[in-house]
A = this chain, B = another copy of it.
Amino acid sequence: MPRWKPDARARLQEAALALFDEWGFDHTSVEEIADRAGLTKRTFFRHFSDKREVLFGGGDKADEPFVTSVRAAPAAAGALDAVSYGLNALAARFDEEGEQAARRFRIVRASPQLWERQLIKFASLAEAVARALRGRGVGDPAAILAAESGITTLRVASDRWVADTKTKPLRQLVAEALVELRAVASEGPRATEPRGGMPTSPGAPTTGRSGDC
């Protein structure tokens, strides 16, 4: 299919992802990436500080649409509901980018070193989302619980999406994972106490003995 002629940065990115996919991240050198792109190592280092930056280079900018959408969610939206607006905004971006975003995820998932870096990024995203929720008047621990639950949802949906980007858009998988999360949380003994209430005595198991749902 016809394509616009990509600039050096995009060519390097494409070459890097192709090689990471083929040989694995650890077994790909900057020199090989530059070679594949038909460019020099020097050009590579003009665009990226190292090969990891090809994958994480968007930095925290990728988080912005998430946090902005949480802040902009309707005033009446609950904590997790507000988070779902953020999830939706982020997923929409990945859907737009399509297969290249999925490939990046797959490469990161396949390397323990990269996956650790990703876990740290997820944790800092959760903190940013929790801050946005507090700005909406959500208290703690609801803010951090809703933010972390949102990230969990995103991870589960992403795992499904990268395995098959064709059948369902990430946005839809995120919506489905959120429904699943609500189902998981509402199963078994449910909270009837007010927030912060004491459900069980310290000595008792956290919840009732039988799945009395």
Contact = CB atoms under 8 A, between A and B. Distances in A.
A84 B207 contact: yes
Contact of A176 (B78, B155, B198): B198
A202 B74 contact: no
A33 interface: no
Given A77-B211, A78-B188, A172 B198 contact: yes
Interface in A72-90: 74, 76-81, 84-85, 87-88
A110 interface: no
Nearest to A80: B184
Interface in A55-97: 74, 76-81, 84-85, 87-88
A85 B208 CA distance: 10
A183 interface: yes
Given A74-B211, A185-B80, A195-B183, A205 B145 contact: no
Nearest to A152: B148
A24 interface: no
A108 interface: no
Interface in A159-213: 160, 168-169, 171-172, 174-191, 193, 195-200, 202-203, 205-213
